[in-house]
Structures are given as C-alpha cells and as structure tokens.
A and B are shown apart, each in its own frame.
Chain A
C-alpha cells in the first residue's frame, strides 16, 4: 500500500505537479466561496476561456517558453475581467448575454491564432486541458507568489467581501467602495484563473472555482468555515486526482476535476438523504 503511494513521488515532476495542484486547489477554493455565493460561475468560466488569445499571442511571441505565456495570460485576464465587468454593468443587454458574446468571441480569436501554427492540436490541448506534469520550478514559484497574493487580499478584505456578497444595500449604507471592491474581486478571480491554467487548463477551470466551494457550502454555515473546508476538499482532490492520473493513465486535469465532482456528488447525496430522513423522523 505504502509502495503504491510512494512510487509516483520519486519523480520530481510528480512532486512539482502535486505541489502546484494543491496550491491552485486551495487558492481557487477559497476565492470560489465568493464565486458560488454571488452566482459568478458563468463569469469565471467565460473569463477562463477569454484568456486563450492572450495565451496564443504569448505562445507565438515567446516560441513556447513558459514565462511570456504566463505574463500574456495575466495581462489578458486582468483586462478581459475588467472589460466583462464594465460591459455587463453598462450594456442594455442582460449580463449573461454580454458575457456570452465577449467570451465566445475571445475564445474564437484564441483558436484562430493557435490554428495558424503548425503543431496546432497538441498545443491547443495543453491550453485547454492543462499540463500539470510539465510544471517547472519557475512555474511553481510564480504560482506560489500570485496564489499567495490572492489569499492575502481575500484575508484582508474578508469582512467587506462578505457584506458585498450578502447585502449590497448594507455595503452602500456603510459607504463601502462597492465598485472598487467588486473590481478587486474580479481581478483576484482573473489571477486565480491564470495560476491554475497549467493545472486544469482553460476548459475545466470553472470546476476548481465552483465545485469544492459548493461542496463546502452544503456542509457549513459560516463563511470562513466554508472557505477552509473548500480548501481542504480541493487539496485532497488534487492529490487523489494525480494518483488516479498516474495509475490509470488519465489526463491529470480531468482526473482532478472528476475527483472534485465525485466528492461533491457523495456529499450532495448524503446531505439530501440526511435531510429527508430528518423530515420523515419529524
């Protein structure tokens, strides 16, 4: 048994991948609490997809080097997040429609750019589904720095973000700078998405933001507990997912997301049953 657990860890790339996946899982899960509570899942999904053209340009400019990719993705993410935020606030069309238009357009632009390169399918797959086992030391460092930054900001503005999620009118009567705080939250989501790109990729990103947080939501009744539990669920799912990926030769991002989904399903069934049993007992 011990052998089964230890064997994959003798490879440095496995260790780095696991560290990155756990880190990313924690960051996304904590921030995901707000995504779940404020109903921003579609926004998160759209933003992840909207980064693709930035990745494509970074790829074309840097010839496949990691670092330009990261910075191009970061720039695109921050700009598109604020752009989507602004359009959805001012446009006469409904918010989800505005998000849908921008996200599909950006995603198409990304695919168009990448398809102009010869090794199109392989590279596109990496962007879409991640490549956690290709995480280098430098990548890990960037992930740790920016992921840590996200966590620090979430910690510092804990009470303000909580009020904005629960009662925007209270935020207004208390004269909190709601617009600024909303933009900070949006940028945090953008940064979390960028640091997660290598782990799960663009297409599955939203699962990291939403699934562990939603699982914790079913089990807790205080915000900080929801965040802590979501982080724990995400970290454990990341580790289990990578082991599954190693032994069953499944794509790592998909394995992590599937583990998160399985945990959610179990918790959801258990809490639903529990509620029904209690209702009957009463």
Chain B
C-alpha cells in the first residue's frame, strides 16, 4: 500500500500545503488591506501587526467589517487589495489559524457530539483518506479537558449552554493546534458567569503563547481583558492601549451617530445605543 501511504501524507496531498513559519516575523501582518463588495467597501486600507501571544480586542459598530476582517485573515475571503501575512507567509497555506464562528451561524441540530466537533479540528493534520487514531482522540480529550468540557464530550452539541458551545469551539481550535484564534463576538448572549469561564480559558491560551483576536461590543471588557484594542469602522480608527484608543474623539469617529457624548462633572460620559448587545445580528 505504498501508493496509499504517499497519498496519505498530509504534506503531499492536495489537501494541505503547510508553509514553514518564520519565527522572527510577527504572527500577523496586515498592510493596506481593502475588501470591496458589490455594495461598496467593507474594509479600507487597514495596516497593523500582531505579535505572538498577544490578545487583541476588535471593537466597532455593526457593519464595521469585523467579520470580514476575520474571514480575510482566516484565508476564507480574498482581499481586493493589500497584503495579509501569517507568520511571514500568505494565509492561504496555513492551517494554524482557527475561526470560532458566531453562535447564530452554527447548525446546532447537526448530528454530532462535542467530541465529534472537536475532532473536526484534527482533519487538517490527518490528511485525506486517514481515520483518527488513538493519538488523535487523546488530543481531543486533552483539548476538552483544557476547556473543562471533558464530562460533556458525548453530548449532542445542542445540549450545551452558550458558554459551553464557545468553549467547544476553542477546544476545536486547540485540537487543530492553532496558533492564531479568531473569535467572532463570543460574548454575545453569555451571562457574566459564562463570560468569566470563557476568559479563564483565554487566560490559559495566553499562557501557552496562543494569539487571540476577539470581536466584541463591550468596550469596558475590551479595555480590561485585552493587551490592545482595535477600533474599527471600515477603516482603522485606532489601535493600541485601551486608554489611548478609546478616547471620546475616536469613539465618535467610529460610532458616529450611534454615540452621544455628555459632559459630566468628572469628564465625559459616552452613551452608546445598546442595540449591539442583544446579539442575533447578522454581520456582513
């Protein structure tokens, strides 16, 4: 079966073309990125870099292009112009990027257990025509243990709570051996306890040197829980420490009419419309 073995080697199949990493390069480098849909520009001329192990919060109003940005970085969507490099190479060849979808975009009635979904993350490493081995199931168990879902491994995915569903996708990213995890509004619809559990898992990822990029609506959480904040509204309004980025001028710039600034005794009070915290929004 030498023929089959050659076919099975993931490095040689048409399935995966893993690029070598250049460890001296930033994990993510974006330059002049522009994405245009028929309806107009979704992202305009974005330039930024992300270092290994960093935690970046991406905030901005609905339709700011957060999901679009994530999909381009994941290599799902082709940019109209500009450059995206993951560890020094084009994202097209990487399977080290994991995308955690918004909960509303997942078919939760799909006939799969939690372990099945996490095992999907192994597919890239397995290659074509190869079935999961004992080693793969062990990695799945480890990943589930890391996100504290091991006792729910055999549940159908619909039976999980919102926070557990998010952690399941993080486990899938771990099984994928992802180095850059993109999470699209993972906090939407979670109560504060579930959010806390999610952050303790993110803390663990941070300690393991995994880079995370998280789209959020909550500016307070963005400032408190992340190393840097990106303020996005089709173009890059600002990126850096929360104190500098989330200033009134830039917030009005990003949120525009959705935000009212009121001068109060000890500074400025920003009132945002709360539409964005309810969830169930579809983002372009």
- Given A166-B117, A169-B76, A222-B116, A176 and B123 touching (CB < 8 A)? yes
- Given A175-B17, A217-B111, A159 and B75 touching (CB < 8 A)? no
Taking CB atoms and an 8 Å cut-off, the chain A residues in 160-174 that contact chain B are: 160, 162-163, 165-167, 169-170, 172-174
In the complex, A173→B94 CA distance in Å?
8
In the complex, A44→B14 CA distance in Å?
29
Q: How many residues of B contact A (CB 8 A)?
A: 37
Secondary structure class of chain B's binding surface, majority of residues: loop
A40 on interface, CB distance cutoff 8 Å: no
In the complex, A101→B97 CA distance in Å?
40
- A223 x B111 contact (CB < 8 A): yes
A281 on interface, CB distance cutoff 8 Å: no
Taking CB atoms and an 8 Å cut-off, the chain A residues in 12-69 that contact chain B are: 37
Distance (whole angstroms) from the CB of A38 to the closest CB of chain B: 10
Secondary structure class of chain A's binding surface, majority of residues: helix
Closest to B101 in A: A169
- B107 x A176 contact (CB < 8 A): no
Query: What residues of chain B lie closer than 8 Å to A156, measured between beta carbons?
Result: 129
| Size class of the contact patch on chain A | 20 to 34
Taking CB atoms and an 8 Å cut-off, the chain B residues in 102-145 that contact chain A are: 106-107, 110-113, 116-117, 119-121, 123-124, 126, 128-129, 131-132
Taking CB atoms and an 8 Å cut-off, the chain B residues in 48-95 that contact chain A are: 71, 74-76, 92-95
- Given A167-B106, A170-B120, A174-B123, A160 and B128 touching (CB < 8 A)? yes
Query: What residues of chain A lie closer than 8 Å to B123, measured between beta carbons?
Result: 159-160, 163, 174, 176
The proximity string for B residues 1-21 relative to A, scoring 1 for CB distances below 8 Å and 0 otherwise, is 000000000000011110000
In the complex, A93→B113 CA distance in Å?
37
Report 18 cross-chain contacts, Cβ distance below 8 Å, ordered by A residue.
A37-B107, A159-B119, A160-B128, A163-B123, A166-B112, A167-B106, A169-B99, A173-B75, A173-B97, A174-B123, A174-B176, A175-B16, A175-B75, A175-B94, A176-B15, A177-B15, A221-B112, A223-B111
- Interface of B toward A, CB cutoff 8 Å: 14-17, 71, 74-76, 92-95, 97-99, 101, 106-107, 110-113, 116-117, 119-121, 123-124, 126, 128-129, 131-132, 156, 172, 176
